[in-house]
Structure 1
Amino acid sequence: MQFRNELDFAQDLDQNDPLRVYREQFHFPKVGGKQVIYFTGNSLGLQPKISKDYVDEIMKDWRELAVEGHFYAEKPWWDYHERLAAPLAKVVGAKTSEVSVMNTLTVNLHLLMVSFYRPDNKRFKILCEEKAFPSDQYMLKSQLRHHGLDPEHALIEVRKREGEHFWRTQDVIDKILEAGDELALVLIGGVNYYNGQVFDMEAITKAGKSVGAAVGWDLAHAVGNISLSLHDWGADFAAWCSYKYMNSGPGNASGIFVHEDHLGKKDIQRFEGWWGTEKASRFMMKPEFEPISNADAWQISNPPVLALAPYLASLKLFEEVGMPALIEKRKKIVAYLEFILGEVAETVSGSFEVITPEERGCQLSVLLHGQGRPLFDYLMKNGVIVDWREPNVIRLAPAPFYCSYEDMYQFGQILKEGILKLSTVDSLG
């Protein structure tokens, strides 16, 4: 399609967008009384309007049934989490039995590493990407220290090539093969938080498994954003948060994936709690742990149903739309955003560049060479909610559920205006 940087063209794209009706199903903040252009679904998704109904249902059951709500609510609390497994499995490309919801992301990665990072004298190294998300860096280094290992020696960080803003798949694979039988675990963010790059998870998983390492994925920026096939790829485990593209609410519960090859085993190492035991015997209070035969075996405590309610509400929308339709719009709206950025760059040349490679999801990361933080502040004050990452990157993530093509056009107008105004101020300096 030949894009045009014109309002009527953007509005025409919206009129022909089969997902346009879903924009009205989300609450938008306002700046100066006007609905914002929201580009931070990669940090916190907007609130679906139906979320309140799902939370209110639990509050009503709690008010009217109290403890009996565990078993006699319309959606009984004791197995509330099970309702999320099937729709989530479709989103991540898994079997329902391989998916569960519990805790928060880094907590779950720590718990999963109890099972899948089992170092010995020969095989003990962990491989991740250079400058992984800080929480992942802290987690990996603390796990190594917990096992008496020195991160300087035991942590392999795959670097980008000099002068490049992205990782090359072959470089990752070469590092895996170089580590060979010393490598115990590959754990990478499937979509990089900083530059928005989508890693070739299938190829990297295959390489990791070929040298005998376990392979896991932090999918915080991937779930609800890109096409995933965790089961078919053969990943051992994965975890993700739910408050970004999944729109479940701030700090909400994390999802996990454990490949069926590891399910139903009593001898696998893990931290255990009573909600991971077989349902039939859970309330018999037996002294021995009997793992349930699906990914729920990694649960420790009973589900936080008030947190799971908005997650279930959002998954209803994902069920209605399906990932293929979301991905189709995502590709088109991100391409239009990139076109708009190119048009602005021609007007104000040299002020920024897109550092996100073609292997991408919703996010475009824009490296600022000129105005820096003042341009971010200008956008925010003018109703464009974007995300700043030090030292000088603005992240833009047009989530297909609620962002419109007209948003992309209007953003371009505000961006150009901001750069020109700030340039004038600097020149008058």
Structure 2
Amino acid sequence: MKRTCYLCEHDTPVELPESLIDAAAKGNVVIFAGAGVSTEVPAVFPVNMYTEVVQELQIESGASFPTVMQIYEDRNGRPDLIRKIWQRFDYADSFPGLREDATRFHRELATMPYISEIITTNWDRYFEHECGAIPIVSGADYALHSLPNRKVYKIHGSIDAPSSIVATSNDYQEVLESLKGNAIGGTLRHLLATKTAVFIGYSLSDSDFVEIYTTLTAGMSNMRPRGYIVSPFPPANASDFDLTVLQTGGDHFLRHLKKAVSDRHEHYLLDDVYNRIKKARRVIAHEHMRVQELDHKKFPGVVYCLSYQDGLLDACNRILARRKTGEYSDGTRVHHLLHGYDEMNKSKKKEGNYWDASYIEGYMNGLTLLLLEDEEDTEHLPLFFCFSRRDLLDFNKAKKAIKNLRKRRPKKWQAAADISARIDADMVPQHTPFL
């Protein structure tokens, strides 16, 4: 039986305003994310938490979410309410397929380095884990506010800090009052007043959303930037909030926006580059194993080839590990990194530190993979290195260059022999990611 994909069926084509694209490219978009971009969709759980609790309490539906949670807490106690919330996330995270569906939006946002602030009423930890965001949950967290990393302002608390969770009507009243005067509320009002806000995963008929929105925008003039709400189901009352409707799914909106920004600003790289890095890493790792079989005592030049490949692998591994931050999706930043490493490489060679210089050569070539225009250019990636005049693409040519190093580059051979002398014959020389 063919299964309908809930996450895809609402990905309708949408035309993005030029002003929104420009605002995003300049880093002037803030995302306001609700439960509709996390676990509370049919693709993850058959019923959402609201329905589950209503059925368990055997009460009529229709009351607001915090009212229902308040009834649950009054009957069962706060610990049971927190346990129920925690168990939903724990269950979703225990099945890779469910977690993947719950984090599609987050993984799409991850590689958009120009989106650096997120406001959410969700309790999950997905923005932290999938987008590399620093969570700002309480005033004490502002100690980390000056860090350049992406931030997520969790106005309803976090599952990682159970005492911070805002779920019941009593909780809502407390947080609404605190947002009027605390540091987080001030920051959120500033963001909404100066940046283009995009609301995703919310229903404008939800009284809880209305109260939050009204509290945060109270006293703002109509001079603040135009806001947007992304939803497959266009709310009829969007104009009441001065919001423009973009009718589509959340992750489809991000994907479309990412492409539009990249088309206008080519230094922002599309996600295809990460598949390229994965492919290259597999090839490099295979050739690295072959080079390890060479005797570094007999042919000391092996240490340079291994160091170079360590640099290549470390670059690929770091790029993939830091994908969630989006930092390597910014081609301008990659160019700056390459310039810095090139200067360092020249300095290392001048010092006679050819071990470090080999590593830097590999690391730079790993970064360069991000900037290739044609996928086929990866076939010309030098997989080997031994201070040869030509790029070493072939293992046999690399072995020849390694064996002839003493004759070609006696000074570099001697430096390699000194390194080899300090390493046991049965050990593989390895350059760690420190210079």
Return the TM-score normalized by structure 2.
0.29
Q: Say which one has the larger Rg.
A: 2
Structure with greater strand share of residues: 1
Structure with greater helix share of residues: 2
Q: Which has the higher contact order (CA 8 A, sep 6+)?
A: 1
